[in-house]
Every structure is written in C-alpha cells, then in structure tokens.
Amino acid sequence: MFEQRLTEILNNLHKPTIETLRQALNQIHATYEDVAPYIQSSSDKPYYRKLLFHSDHVELLLMNWSGLDCAPHDHGHSFGWIQVMNGSVRNQLFSVQPGKLPEPFFEKHHSEGTVFFAPKQSVHQMEGQKDLLTLHLYAPPISGMKVYDLKKCAACVVSDDCGAWWPDEQRQQLKII
Ligand SMILES: [Fe+2]
C-alpha cells in the first residue's frame, strides 16, 4: 500500500523543482506505521540506511539513527527535503571556502513532524539520539557525495551506496582529498 503510493507519486517526478519535490513528500504523507516495516538498526554506523525508492530523477531514503553523529557532508549535486519521523535532530550547517575545511556557522533543531530543506552544495551534519528516524527525498539521486573528517583534515568522495561517514571499505572511497 505504502510502496504503491510512493511509487505512483515519485514515478511522476521528472527533474522536479524544489517546490514540486516538497509537494511530493507532502503527498506521500508517510507515517511512522508506513515506514516501520523498513526500520533496521546499525550499531557501528550513524544510521541504518534503507533505500525505499530510486529513479533517474529522485531517491527516497529512510535513516534510522543509532545515536552517533554523522560526518559533515554535502549531497553532491542534489537538493532534498528531510522529514523527521521520530525524535528530534540537531542540524549543523557549515560554510565552505575553496581549499579549506568546512566551518560550522549555524545550527537548528528540528522536532518530530517537521520537514526541512537541504540545499544543493551545502555541507551539514546531523545529530540525533538513538531511534531518531528521518525520511530523505533527494533530486537527483545523490552521486559524488563528499564526506569530511575534520580531525584528519581530509575529505573523501564516497560511492553512491555509502552514508554520511568515513567509508571503511576501500571500494567506497572514490577519491580522497
Ligand atoms: Fe545529508
């Protein structure tokens, strides 16, 4: 039922604008009960990442957080909307100057039920308690995501199946900067 609903809505999206992408997420109107069957947990990564839908134009991901902060990262050339399904999240935004490490400049809390925007090319880091659950709709599907390790002064372009953490598998490390 839920899968059918989101397939119908998301298959209609072709190069969506910021606004049409937001409307699609509203239209899906996912409830905790809808996504509950897809929740799994991860103990060694910031979240368990479940891909719910993927087309040439959009991707929908469910993230179940384990209580660890994700690494600062961008979303490649994609923008997206993030819906807080359970718990609340602190979203830290970073400014990026060419050739320099990102620096935190703004943070905001988002409570359960809210939806917030992730602009193209912005760098952010999300922190939430265990069982924080977030739903992410991105356009186009994220490719070439850059993850930062501020302690190591390093950045890494990661493979499309990797989340916002420093990849421990060699094949997920596409380019270290
Ligand atoms: Fe992100």
Q: So where are the chain's domains?
A: 2-142
pLDDT in tens, 7-32: 999 999 999 999 999 999 999 999 99
pLDDT in tens, 23-82: 999 999 999 999 999 999 988 899 999 999 999 999 999 999 999 999 999 999 999 999
Burial class of residue 52 in the structure, from the number of CB atoms within 10 Å of its CB (0-12 exposed, 13-18 middle, 19+ buried): buried
The whole-angstrom separation of Cα 142 and Cα 135 is 14
The whole-angstrom separation of Cα 104 and Cα 51 is 29
pLDDT in tens, 75-130: 999 999 999 999 999 999 999 988 888 999 999 999 999 999 999 989 999 998 99
CA of 73 to the centre of ligand 1 (A): 6
Q: Which of 141, 123, 126 minimizes the C-alpha distance to 51?
A: 141
Strand order in the sheet with 154-158: 146-149, 154-158, 173-176
CA of 167 to the centre of ligand 1 (A): 15
Mean pLDDT, the chain, rounded, equals 95
CA dist list (Å): 131 to 14, 45, 87: 33, 13, 7
CA of 163 to the centre of ligand 1 (A): 9
pTM for this predicted structure? 0.95
**What's the CATH class of domain 2-142?**
mainly beta
Kindly report each contact of residues 36-39 with a partner whose C-beta sits within 8 Å and lies 24 or more positions away, as own/partner.
38/62, 39/64, 39/133
CA of 164 to the centre of ligand 1 (A): 7
CA of 99 to the centre of ligand 1 (A): 21
CA of 33 to the centre of ligand 1 (A): 24
